[in-house]
A and B are shown apart, each in its own frame.
Chain A
Amino acid sequence: MDKFIPIKSIAAPLRMINVDTDMIIPKQFLKTIKRSGLGKNLFHELRYDLQGNVKNDFVLNWDPYKSATILITGENFGCGSSREHAPWSLLDFGFRCIIAPSFADIFYNNCFKNGILPIRLDQNDVDHLMVEAENKKLLSVNLEDQTIINEEDKSTGFDIEPFRKKCLLEGLDDIALTLKKDDKIKSFETSTHQSFPWII
């Protein structure tokens, strides 16, 4: 996983609530056995018509938002299916940071596993940043400092769990970290086997 480095970009404004992962990446693209190449299918039904032509009424089809690395959106983003194809497609499109009032749990988790920073902010802060995005202003996201800074140097702070922050900043491999605790896992298994033999 790539380390999360500070980003400076315009943000794509997506004024919708309850955006589900079916909308982010429809099921026909789940037949792949790879993680790569899903960016072109991101928000497929909103970006292309039934004949496959690009639709002009969707924000990600507009310049300069096509090259945004930050997405600003409404509450409960990423609800529904657990498909990790959703963050894979967002990442492949170019997004490294998503800002919303709230996220669905599984999607939120999945972002961190792929080097995407999901930021939860109060609705008021999101509303302000949405306007900045609609005005095509640049935003800087710094994870180390936990700040989002606009062109006028106004700073908005955000919270993040320290462990998740560390993993993103250092691009750590979760499995390697856990395998360092192998002794603890083994002793857990031994004691479970003794007390609950039908489980392990």
Chain B
Amino acid sequence: MKQNHKTRTLFDKIWSNHLVDQQEDGTCLIYIDRHLVHEVTSPQAFEGLRDANRKVRCPQTTFAVADHNVPTSDRSKGIENVESRIQVETLEQNCKDFNITLFPLLDKRQGIVHIVGPEQGITQPGMTIVCGDSHTATHGAFGSLAFGIGTSEVEHVLATQTLIQNSAKNMRITIDGNVPNGVTSKDIILHIIGQIGTAGGTGYVIEYAGEAIHELSMEGRMTICNMSIEAGARAGLIAPDEKTFEYIKGRPFAPQGEDWDKAVSFWKSLPSDENAHYDKEIVIEGKNIFPQVTWGTSPQDVSPINGKVPDPSQIEDVNRRKAVERSLDYMGLEANQNIQDIKIDKVFIGSCTNGRIEDLRAVAKVVDGKKIIVDAMIVPGSGLVKEQAEKEGLDKILIEAGFDWREPGCSMCLAMNPDQLKPKERCASTSNRNFEGRQGREGRTHLVSPVVAAASAIKGSLSLVEDI
């Protein structure tokens, strides 16, 4: 039992700090510090509140933005698709009725909820943060316990500012030593998912540690934590440090003045104690991680780009073999095919995984002065990311190279809006899921880092930067 350990992990500390009540059977009631809301998973929750004549308990710690369903073309004349428009308008009305801060569609702070939270300083170490979206794990990069919830739980948090939860187990994944040059945070997390599988983290909160993680920027850390859900984990965490504090300082919703000093001294107490107990420890040699790509329809279907498509006949487990056969059939790939020979039709750069300024800079650096030969869409994660990129002239480089420069939103990561693949189209995508139909019915997704996506756009096939 955790109580018997004098030392505590980062997760243990946050959990015990937020425990409102614990029943005899172990079921806990935990307090939620920040609640992020978007248009797709919230309408039914607000409807539930109205039906029961309940209020939002803490509107001041609840923040909303429309992202999933918004077009990424010019929006100044409103949203053409009726259902999408109703959903966005419903969010606006709900925020008005319940007095919740909304970053409206035409406000430059609008963007993907997991990019907006950190950008506005809403995300802070030691907090509990929830959102009706599985990629809420992103915020764990700040050392906050952040996880996705369903709509019923959204309603529960709106009404009570708490959640009924069972505690999770602690897992630590340490990247030992540094990764080779050219390997990005996306490659690290894809490699991890390939190692532990999409159910490897089920029941756990994963803390990422080690030199390679420590070295990452906040953007890179967010990419890692973001995909914790693809490893099945409830949340991902990285211990806060000076880089974290530096990132938060001065942002609109960050603590100010005297509160700032208090907050920083509290945040410094959060990292796991030395010798803290983990239920599971995994160590991965950094030097063994190469640029990754997925070949199948599960995020665990990864390979180094210079590898080959696997041969299902070599897989012993019958369920796994059938899954791989189905994937290859869906993806239109042959066993043992060289991955670098796979031609692509489209490139998507964006999403809560890789739609931040650092990602756009990396892409611009690869394509500067070159021309891409496939359709490629680049969707900044927020209006502020877009503005910053334009200030740096990145938009010019990208447009000159042939990219379609879009308005912010989730876009083709989940393809709820018009940004979709056509049947059988093959896409190198910086997003987080390669499920069947994810980016459009019968569309074929290969998950990659921004630099690999950029190189692939130039070459027309899955490619390393050094091969263009």
A residues bordering B, Cβ < 8 Å?
15-18, 20, 22-23, 26-28, 30-35, 45, 50, 74-76, 79-84, 87, 102, 104-106, 109-110, 113-114, 161-163, 174-175, 177-179, 181, 184-185, 188-189, 192, 196-200
Contact = CB atoms under 8 A, between A and B. Distances in A.
Nearest to B136: A82
Contacts of A109: 149-150, 153
Given A33-B44, A185-B161, A18 B298 contact: yes
Which one of A31, A80, A102 has the highest number of Cβ atoms from chain B below 10 Å of its Cβ? Answer: A31
Interface residues of B, number: 77
Contacts of A196: 262-263, 266
B75 interface: no
B365 interface: no
Contact of B29 (A15, A16, A26, A178): A178
Contacts of B202: 76, 102, 104-105
30 contacts: A18-B199, A20-B433, A22-B414, A31-B40, A31-B81, A32-B83, A34-B44, A35-B151, A50-B442, A76-B232, A81-B134, A81-B433, A82-B148, A83-B150, A102-B199, A105-B202, A114-B152, A174-B152, A175-B54, A175-B156, A175-B159, A178-B29, A181-B20, A185-B29, A188-B31, A196-B262, A198-B124, A198-B263, A200-B33, A200-B58
B262 to A, nearest CB: 7
B61 A106 contact: no
Given A45-B436, A163-B25, A30 B150 contact: no
Contacts of A106: 134, 147-150, 229
Contacts of A199: 33, 124, 127
Contacts of A80: 134, 229-230, 433, 435
Contacts of A17: 319-320, 323
A92 to B, nearest CB: 13
B226 to A, nearest CB: 13
B266 to A, nearest CB: 7
Contacts of B151: 35, 84
Contacts of B319: 15, 17, 74-75
B152 A105 contact: no
A104 B233 CA distance: 9
B199 A75 contact: yes
A161 B166 CA distance: 10
A177 B20 CA distance: 14
A102 B199 CA distance: 8
Nearest 9 A/B pairs, CB to CB? A113-B152, A198-B255, A33-B43, A84-B150, A110-B150, A31-B83, A76-B199, A82-B148, A84-B151
Nearest to A192: B31
A23 B442 CA distance: 12
A105 B441 contact: no
B314 to A, nearest CB: 18
Interface string B412-439: 0011100000010000000001011110
B436 A23 contact: yes
A31 to B, nearest CB: 4
B322 interface: yes
A161 B436 contact: no
Given A27-B416, A76-B198, A178-B160, A84 B41 contact: yes
Contacts of A20: 298, 433, 435
B86 interface: yes
B201 to A, nearest CB: 9
Interface string B128-159: 00001110000000000001111111011001
B69 interface: yes
Which one of B90, B149, B203 has the highest number of Cβ atoms from chain A below 10 Å of its Cβ? Answer: B149
A34 B134 CA distance: 20
A174 B160 CA distance: 10
Given A75-B199, A181-B29, 12 more contacts: A31-B83, A76-B198, A80-B229, A83-B40, A83-B150, A84-B132, A114-B152, A184-B29, A188-B20, A189-B31, A196-B262, A198-B262
B47 interface: yes
A146 to B, nearest CB: 15
B159 A50 contact: no
A188 B163 CA distance: 14
Nearest to B81: A31
B21 A45 contact: no
A30 B164 contact: no
Contacts of B61: 200
Nearest to A81: B134
Contacts of A177: 164
